[in-house]
Amino acid sequence: MSNTDLEDDLRGTFERAAASVPETTGLTERATTGAQRAQRRTWIVSGAAAVAVAAIAIVGFGLAGSNDKPTQPPVAGGQAPASATPTPQPPTAQTVSGTWRPLQMAGFKALKASRPDDPVLVFRADGTWTGSDGCNGLQGTFSIGQRGEFTATSGPQHMIGCNNVPHTGVLEAAKRIAVDGNTLRFFGADGRQLASYARAR
């Protein structure tokens, strides 16, 4: 077979193969349209994901804020709220006025011994005091300074013995007093507690 015959045979084969390929008109347009649709779907999915992330962030911020302690509303005039614990005030003749029973006395161990009378001290707002050591009536005067400084004097008294409670010794040695609720405390010059009394009425 000559070269010319061979070339004609090959050309015929290519033409028959080309004729058997289906029509591809519009293939490029369809490919382009599909790519655009895929791109639009990608944008839609990305936008939905962004919205979901923003919603989760807002909810999380709200939950985190709910754990914070509530702030107090501002007080009129810009003043801070008053403290729940009142500041102790220095004792005065008015605050110690009333009847007191001994709870503890330094060096005296017989407070619960039996006695004819109830051992008490009675302070009055006018600066006088009376009482009983368990056997003898007592009386005198006292004064209280601005910081709880204390002085007292004792008047004449009988000295019947009966395991007497040494009220007068406490009053004359005390240099400072303090009131803690219903407890009256006496302190010496060295700051040590001499005695404590409980309010009876």
Q: Using one digit for the tens of pLDDT, what is the confidence trace for 81-93? A: 444 544 556 899 9
CB distance 142 to 152 below 8 Å:
yes
pLDDT of residue 99: 97
CB distance 188 to 171 below 8 Å:
no
pLDDT at 199 over 60: yes
CA dihedral 192, 197, 199, 200 (to 10 degrees): 180
CB distance 142 to 123 below 8 Å:
yes
The tens digit of pLDDT for each residue in 113-151 reads: 888 899 999 999 999 999 999 999 999 999 999 999 999
pLDDT of residue 172: 95
When mean pLDDT is compared over 18-27, 108-117, 141-150, the highest value belongs to 141-150
Two tokens, residue 48:
């939905």
CA distance linking residue 153 with residue 33, whole number of Å: 113
CB distance 167 to 133 below 8 Å:
yes
pLDDT of residue 145: 96
pLDDT of residue 19: 57
pLDDT of residue 1: 55
The model's confidence at residue 16, banded by pLDDT at 50, 70 and 90, is low
Cβ atoms within 10 A of the Cβ of 134, count?
A: 22
Q: What is the DSSP string of the chain?
A: --HHHHHHHHHHHHHHHHHHSPP-TTHHHHHHHHHHHHHHHHHHHHHHHHHHHHHHHHHHHHHHHHTSPPPPPPPGGGPPPPPSSPPPPPP-TTTT-EEEEEEEETTB--TTS--SS--EEEE-TTSEEEEESSSSEEEEEEEE-TTSBEEEEE-------SS---HHHHHHH--EEEEETTEEEEE-TTS-EEEEEEE--
The model's confidence at residue 7, banded by pLDDT at 50, 70 and 90, is low
pLDDT at 75 over 50: no
The model's confidence at residue 200, banded by pLDDT at 50, 70 and 90, is very high
Mean confidence (pLDDT) of the chain? 74
Of 131 and 73, the one with more pLDDT: 131
In this prediction, residues 5-29 reach a mean pLDDT of 55
CA distance linking residue 182 with residue 130, whole number of Å: 19
Two tokens, residue 159:
């000295």
The tens digit of pLDDT for each residue in 37-54 reads: 545 554 444 444 444 444
The model's confidence at residue 186, banded by pLDDT at 50, 70 and 90, is very high
CB distance 142 to 127 below 8 Å:
yes
pLDDT at 170 over 50: yes
